[in-house]
Chain A
Amino acid sequence: QITLKESGPTLVKPTQTLTLTCTFSGFSLSTSGVGVGWIRQPPGKALEWLALIYWNDDKRYSPSLKSRLTITKDTSKNQVVLTMTNMDPVDTATYYCAHRQASYYFDYWGQGTLVTVSS
């Protein structure tokens, strides 16, 4: 049974760096074809993909946010970490991590964590 859970601060100040951790179980990020992605959703708005990391450490980033994002994995801890620099109030959103299996979809999602950017 695959589960994912996001953790991190609920409140960050403008210009600070956000660090979010996705802790998962039920799969290994060392298995061929497996990936974990981050997706966010501002209140009342649509889903926005942020980043992806695959079992082979291949990393992909949203073109519009690439300069601010870093995604890493710790296979031994079953964790994926996303950092986003220079946070702004427009980055206020629920951040989700999700499992990806070699294809073009996210089949398991975490519950999400709401991050508010405010001074």
Chain B
Amino acid sequence: QSVLTQPPSVSAAPGQKVTISCSGSSSNIGNNYVSWYQQLPGTAPKLLIYDNNKRPSGIPDRFSGSKSGTSATLGITGLQTGDEADYYCGTWDSSLSAEVFGGGTKLTVL
């Protein structure tokens, strides 16, 4: 049981937009920055979004992040088949003094 809650799966057609939610509490998302990671099949996770809404160099602006209260959202526009991956949210939990991740969301581009 993950501290952060994500939907197990989402799907959308190529070219469409999808959002992935990440729900937490005041001890984690509510008071700390959120990051998002993309894990393509058989590869290591890759940082996609940090500090709630910032993109590392090289990440296309099709990927966006937002946070409101104790929830965060990853948005992906102009979906491509290459976006099929597992997506994880992460943040620090001040009560646990631990890094916490969501359970992951599998994105299928139909």
Contact = CB atoms under 8 A, between A and B. Distances in A.
B33 A46 contact: no
Interface residues of A, number: 22
A48 interface: yes
A20 to B, nearest CB: 15
A100 B97 CA distance: 16
Question: Which 3 A/B pairs are nearest by Cβ-Cβ distance?
Answer: A105-B35, A49-B99, A105-B50
A99 to B, nearest CB: 10
12 contacts: A47-B45, A52-B99, A60-B99, A63-B96, A96-B44, A104-B35, A104-B51, A105-B50, A106-B35, A107-B47, A109-B44, A109-B47
B47 A105 contact: yes
Interface of A: 37, 39, 46-49, 52, 60-63, 96, 103-112
Specify the main secondary structure of chain B where it touches its partner. strand
A111 B44 CA distance: 6
Interface stretch (B10-18, B77-85, B86-94): B86-94
B100 interface: yes
A96 B47 CA distance: 14
Given A104-B92, A105-B51, A109-B45, A48 B101 contact: yes
Specify the main secondary structure of chain A where it touches its partner. strand
Interface residues of B, number: 26
B2 interface: yes
Nearest to B86: A46
Contacts of A104: 32-35, 50-51, 90-92, 99
A110 B51 contact: no
Contact of B88 (A46, A52, A111): A46
B104 A47 contact: yes
Nearest to B44: A109
B52 to A, nearest CB: 10
A63 B97 contact: yes
B47 A106 contact: yes
A61 B99 CA distance: 9
